[in-house]
C-alpha cells in the first residue's frame, strides 16, 4: 500500500435533514437534503452524492487515460441511475449504480482508445473503493465533549 494521504471536512445541520457540507480549502459549501417526506429535497441526498462520486471519478479517470495518449475526447458526459433494494432486515440499500459515459468526439479520432478503455476503471479511486467496501470508523460525542461511542 505505501502512500497515505487524507482529507477532512465538516457537516452542519441546517434544519431537519438538510446539512451544509463545509469542505476544506477554498471549496464552496454544499447543501444536502433528503427528499420529501423526510426533507425538502433542497439538495442532493447521500445516495445521489455517492452515485455522483462514482460517475465523477470514472469520468476523470477516463479523461486522464485518454489524455495520457495525447487525446482530446471533447466534453465527457455521464448519465447516472441508481437502484434501491431492501436487505434481509428490510433496510433500504443502494443495490446498483449504472453509469453511462459519453465522449464528446468520435472513437476513431482517438489514439490507443482500446488501451485507455482497458485500464481507466482500475484507477478510479471511488468506484474501486465502493466495489470492495471500506471500513468506516464511528465515534459519537455529546455537547460537553464526552465520547459516547
Q: How high is the pLDDT of residue 141?
A: 83
CA atoms within 13 A on the CB side of 68: 15
What's the average model confidence in pLDDT over 24-35?
96
DSSP notation for 41-53:
-SS--HHHHHHHH
The pLDDT of residue 15 is 95
Buried b (16+ CB within 10 A) or exposed e, 55-93: bbbbbbbbbebbeeeebebeebebebebeeeeeeeeeee
Mean pLDDT of 20-25: 95
Note the pLDDT tens digit of each residue in 41-71.
999 999 999 999 999 999 999 999 999 999 9
**Res 134 pLDDT > 70:** no
What's residue 47's pLDDT?
A: 95
pLDDT tens digits for 100-121? 999 999 999 999 999 999 999 9
Which range is least confidently modeled, 3-7, 84-88, 107-111? 3-7
The full set of domain ranges for the chain reads 9-44, 45-131
Residue 116, pLDDT score = 94
Return the CATH class of domain 45-131. alpha beta
Amino acid at each position: 500500500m505505501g502512500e497515505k494521504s487524507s482529507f477532512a471536512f465538516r457537516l452542519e445541520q441546517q434544519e431537519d435533514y438538510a446539512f451544509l457540507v463545509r469542505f476544506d480549502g477554498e471549496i464552496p459549501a454544499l447543501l444536502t437534503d433528503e427528499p420529501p417526506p423526510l426533507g425538502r429535497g433542497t439538495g442532493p441526498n447521500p445516495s445521489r452524492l455517492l452515485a455522483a462520486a462514482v460517475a465523477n471519478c470514472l469520468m476523470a479517470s477516463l479523461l486522464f487515460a485518454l489524455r495520457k495518449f495525447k487525446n482530446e475526447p471533447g466534453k465527457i458526459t455521464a448519465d447516472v441511475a441508481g437502484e434501491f433494494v431492501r436487505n434481509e432486515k428490510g433496510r433500504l440499500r443502494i443495490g446498483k449504480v449504472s453509469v453511462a459515459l459519453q465522449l464528446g468526439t468520435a472513437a476513431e479520432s482517438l489514439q490507443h482508445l482500446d488501451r485507455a478503455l482497458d485500464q481507466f476503471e482500475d484507477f478510479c479511486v471511488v468506484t474501486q473503493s465502493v466495489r470492495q467496501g471500506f471500513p468506516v470508523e464511528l465515534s459519537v460525542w455529546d455537547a460537553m465533549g464526552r465520547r459516547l461511542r
